[in-house]
Amino acid sequence: MKKIILIVGIVAIAVLGVFGVRSLLLHKGSALPGIPAGMASPTGLEVTHTPTAESAARAFLDAWQAADYAKMYSLLSTNTQKGMTNDQFQKAYQNVTQTATIRSIDYQIVSVEMTPTDATVQFSATLHTALMGDIPSQTRILLKNESGQWKVAWDEQTILPDLKDGNKLIMNLDIPSRGNIYDRNGLPLAADAKAAEIDVIPGLITNEGIMLNCLSVVLRKPRALIQTMYDTDHPDWIYPIGDVNTSDIPNTCPLSSLTNTDGIQVQLTEMRYYYGGGVASNVVGYTRKPSAADLAAGYGGDQQVGANGLELSGENYLAGRSGGSLLVTSSNGTVVSTLAKSTPLPAMDIYTTLDRDLQAQMERTLMEPFTGAAVVLDRNTGEVLAMLSSPRYDSNYFNPQSFNGTQTSALTNILNDPRSPLLNRAAQGLYPLGSVFKIITMSAALQSNQFDANSIAYDDETGYFTELEGFNGTDWTVEREMKPQGKVSLTQCLERSTNTCFWHVALNLYYKDAWLVPNMAAAFGLGQKTGIVGVDDEAGLLPNPGWKHDTGGGDWTGLDALNQAIGQGSLQVTPLQVADFVAAVGNGGTLYRPQILSSIRPQNGDPVFSFAPDTRGSLPVSAANLQTVQRAMEGVVLDLKGTAYSKFHYVPHQYKLAGKTGTAQTEQANPDAWFVAYSYDESLDKPDIAVAVIVENVGEGATYAAPMVRRIMEIYFDGRPESLYPWESTYGMRGTDTPVVTETPTETPTETPAS
C-alpha cells in the first residue's frame, strides 16, 4: 500500500509541474513542507524546479525592459527561430522602439491560460515614449511546451496588438524649424538659409584679376589672401574659398556675375548657415546628423543635432520638440488605427552677448596666421563681446548639406590640422601667465602692508638677483645690455615689469606667509572655472603649498614663490580667466561671472532667460591699493619707461587705457606673448571693456600681443583698424616673418627659476 501511494505521489508531482498549478509551485531554492531546502526527499528522489509558462513570459518581458534582444531570442520556440534570424528579430523590436520613440516599458501580467502543451499569457504594457507620452496597450504572449520548457511562440502582436496581418507602425513627425543664434544686436550667427558655397578651379581661370576682385568683394577677404587658398600647380583640383548667404551677396558682384566668372564654381545649398564662414565658430559650434539614439528620442532623419558650442549646449532650446501621430497602417498604406498624437513644441532662438562686427573684424585682421586667443569683456557686466580662438575654422563644412564639407578636403583638413582649430583656446587653452601675474603679486604685496605704492621697493643696482641661494636671475635690462633699473617703487616695478623687483617682493612675502600670493591668485579667480554657461571652460592650475604637498612635490619653497610671482612654474590659466580678473581690476574690484547668453526666447512671446550681471566675488584688495595697481597699469602704456609705451603713445583715438605685458616661458624655443588691458573712459559712447590676448610661441608680449590689443581697441571704439602691424602687408595678411622691433624699452624674455 505504501508503495502505491508513493507512485501516485510522484505522478502527481510530475503532473503539477507540467500544468504549473500556482498553489504548489516549487520555487528555486525552496523545499517541500517538512523537508529542509537542498535535502533529498525521504524516498531519495531529488526535487527540481520546472519553469512555468508565467515565469517564461516574465523572463521574456524582463529582457524586453532591458533591451536584451539576444536573451529574448533565446527564449523563442524552435519553430519561431526557424522562421526568423536573430538579426531579424532584433530589428523588429528596434524599429518599433525607434519609431515610437520608446524610452522604457512597464508591464503587468493579467492572466494565464494553459494546457499541457500551450499557454497564453495576457499582459498590459505601458510604453514610455519621448514624443507621445505614455502609450498603454494590452496584448498576449503565446507559449509552447517543448520537452518540459515553456518557449515563446512569437509574432508581431507580442509587441503591439495592432501589428497583425502585415500591419506596420509609422510615425508622422511634425518637426519645428531649428532656432537661430544671434549676436547682441540681432544679427544672425547661425540660421537656416540659402548659401552659396564658393570654390576655385585653377585650370578654368581666364582672368585672375577679375576673379579675385569679385571674390574679395563677396567674401570680404583680401585678394592676396584668396590667392593663397588655391594652387595653380593642380589645375583640376577644387579649392574651397568660402561661403556666403545669398541674401548677403553685394550688388557690386551679384550672384549672376559670381557664377559666370571663369574659375569660380558655385554650389547653392539650403543649409544651416554660419555667417561669414563661421564667425565665432568656437563659440557657436556646428551641427551633425542624428544618431540612432537621437532618432529613438524623436529626431527626424533629416534634422540636425547640435554637436559643439552653443549648438550643443542650447540644443533643448534650438531644437524644440517634435510632435506628430503614431499610426498603424495596413500593408497597402491604409491607416488602421492612431495610437497617439502630440503637439510639437516650437524651437527658441538664442541671443548672445557677442558683437558680430567686432568678432568678424578681429577674425579677419587680428591674429592670422598666428596661434592664440583673445577675449573682450564688458568691463562692468561680464558680458563676452568677442571670443577669438586662432586658428579658426568654418562651421559650414560640418554641415551634412555642405558640398565643400562632403565633396572636398576642407573638412578633413580641419580635423587633421595639428594646430587643433576645434579647441576653443580662449576658454579651454591652458597657458603660463608670465608677467601679467605681477598684477596679482603687486596686490598681495600692498595688502600685506610690507610694501606701499611710492617708497622704494627694490634697488636694482646690477640687474642680477642673488637673494635666494642657488638661483641667479637676470632682469631684461641685462639681456638688452642696458643700465639696471636702479631704485624702483612698487608702481615702477609693474610699469617696467622688473623681474628682480618682483622676486625680491615675492621672497619677502614667502617668508611672512607662503599662502599670501596663492590665496590672492585664487581670489582673482585662478585655479577654478569661471562659471560661464554655454561654453566649456577649464579651471587651469593654481599651485600652492597644499597642492604641492598633496601631489607629492614636497614643501613649498622660496623657488616656488619666485616662479609664481612672475607667472611661471606650474601655473596654468585660460585667457577667459585672465580677461575676467583684469575687468575686475578695472571696475573697482567686482569679479563678474562671464556670460555669453543675452536671452533665450521664442519667436513670439517673452524670453525664458534674460541676461543680468552675476557677481561671483570681490577682489580682496582695498580701494586705495586697487587704485595703486590701476595707476601702475596706466603707467605701462603712458610712462616713457612703460613696457608698452611704444605701442600706444601715438594712438589716433585717445581712449584711456591701462594694461600689462607678459612674456611667458614655455617648453618651446619662443615664449608666449601676453597683453591685457582695460579702458577707463566712461565718457565714451560705448561701455568700457577688458581685453586679454595671448599669442603662442612667438616672442615678447609688447612686440606681438600689445599691438593686437591696440587693434581691438581701434575696431571697438573707431569701427576699423587704424594702423598696420609691423609684420603686415595689408590688414589680415602677413608680409614679413619678423616684426620690426623699436628701440623703446620693452619687456623681453628673462631667465626664470626652474620649475
Quick: pLDDT tens for 160-205. 999 998 999 999 999 999 999 999 999 999 999 999 999 999 999 9
Q: Is residue 42 part of a domain?
A: no
Strand 348-352 relative to strand 181-182, pairing = parallel
CA distance 688 to 657: 10
- Whether residues 142 and 227 fall in one domain: no
DSSP states of 512-546: H-TTHHHHHHHHTTTTS----SSS-----B---HH
- What's the average model confidence in pLDDT over 732-749? 52
Cell of 510: 614667502
Q: Which residue would you say has higher pLDDT here, 652 or 562?
A: 562
Does residue 183 lie within any of the structural domains? no
Does the pLDDT of residue 41 top 70, yes or no?
Answer: no
Taking the C-alpha atoms of residue 504 and residue 168, their distance in angstroms, rounded to an integer, is 81
CATH code (residue 454): 3.40.710.10
Alpha-carbon distance of 37 to 40, in angstroms, equals: 9
Q: What is the distance of C-alpha 44 from the center of its chain?
A: 70
693 in a structural domain: yes
209 and 150 inside one domain: no
Instruction: Tell me the average pLDDT across 680-703.
Output: 92
- pLDDT one-digit tens code per residue, 487-502: 999 999 999 999 999 9
CATH code: domain of residue 145: 3.10.450.100
Which residue's entry shows cell 539576444?
70
Residue 392 lies in a domain: yes
DSSP 609-641: EE----EEEE-S--HHHHHHHHHHHHHHHHSTT
Rounded to the nearest 10°, the torsion over CA 414, 417, 422, 425 is -150
Regarding whether 376 and 275 lie in a shared domain, the answer is no
- On the question of pLDDT at 45 being above 70, the answer is no
HEC string of 400-439? Answer: CCCHHHHHCCHHHHHHHCCCCCCCCHHHHCCECCHHHHHH
Q: What does the block give as the cell for 319?
A: 531644437
3-state secondary structure of 195: strand
* 101-132 per-position pLDDT tens digit: 999 999 999 999 999 999 999 999 999 999 99
Cβ atoms of residues 495 and 642 within 8 Å: yes
Let me know: does 562 contact 473? Beta carbons within 8 Å.
Answer: yes
Within this chain, do residues 221 and 154 fall inside the same structural domain, yes or no? no
CA dihedral 481, 483, 486, 491 (to 10 degrees): -70
Give the least confident one: 39-53, 457-471, 694-708, 720-734.
Answer: 39-53
15 inside domain: no
Tell me the one-letter amino acid at 149: Q
Q: What is the pLDDT of residues 236-273, one digit of tens each?
A: 999 999 999 999 999 999 999 999 999 999 999 999 99
Select from 145, 164, 183 the last residue of a domain. Answer: 164
Where residue 714 falls (left for φ over 0; alpha for ψ -120 to 50; beta otherwise) is alpha
Residue finishing a domain among 228, 249, 279? 279
The C-alpha atoms of residue 752 and residue 665 are separated, in whole angstroms, by 8
| Domain C-terminal end among 279, 301, 324 | 279
- Packing angle, helices 516-523 and 558-565, rounded to 10: 30
Residue among 591, 590, 670, 659 nearest 629 (CA): 659
Q: Tell me, what's the pLDDT at 68? A: 97
Q: In this predicted structure, what is the pLDDT of residue 460?
A: 85
Are 569 and 623 within one domain? yes
In a domain, 88, yes or no: yes
Residue 73 sits in the same domain as residue 199: no
CB count in 10 Å sphere of residue 496: 25
Q: Is residue 291 part of a domain?
A: no
Answer yes or no: do 373 and 262 share one domain.
Answer: no
Taking residues 407-423, report their average pLDDT. 92
**Judgement on whether residues 218 and 109 belong to the same structural domain of the protein:** no
Per-residue pLDDT averaged across 604-632, rounded? 96
> What does the pLDDT read at residue 604?
87
Into how many domains does the chain fold?
3
Same domain, 479 and 398: yes
* 345 lies in some domain: no
Q: How many CB atoms lie within 10 A of CB 278?
A: 24
* Residues 529, 645 within the same domain: yes
How far apart CA 429 and CA 733 sit, in angstroms, is 25
Element (H, E) at 310: helix 309-313
pTM of the model: 0.85
Structural domain containing residue 96: 53-164
In this prediction, residue 50 has a pLDDT band, given cuts at 50, 70 and 90, of: low
Q: Are 239 and 388 in the same domain?
A: no
pLDDT of residue 603: 86
C-alpha cell at 340: 497617439
Q: How far is Cα 290 from Cα 305, in angstroms, rounded to an integer?
A: 6
Within this chain, do residues 226 and 149 fall inside the same structural domain, yes or no?
no
Helix axes of 499-512 and 438-447: crossing angle, nearest 10 degrees: 50
CA–CA separation, 617 vs 629, rounded Å? 18
Phi, psi values for residue 353, rounded to 5°: -85, -5
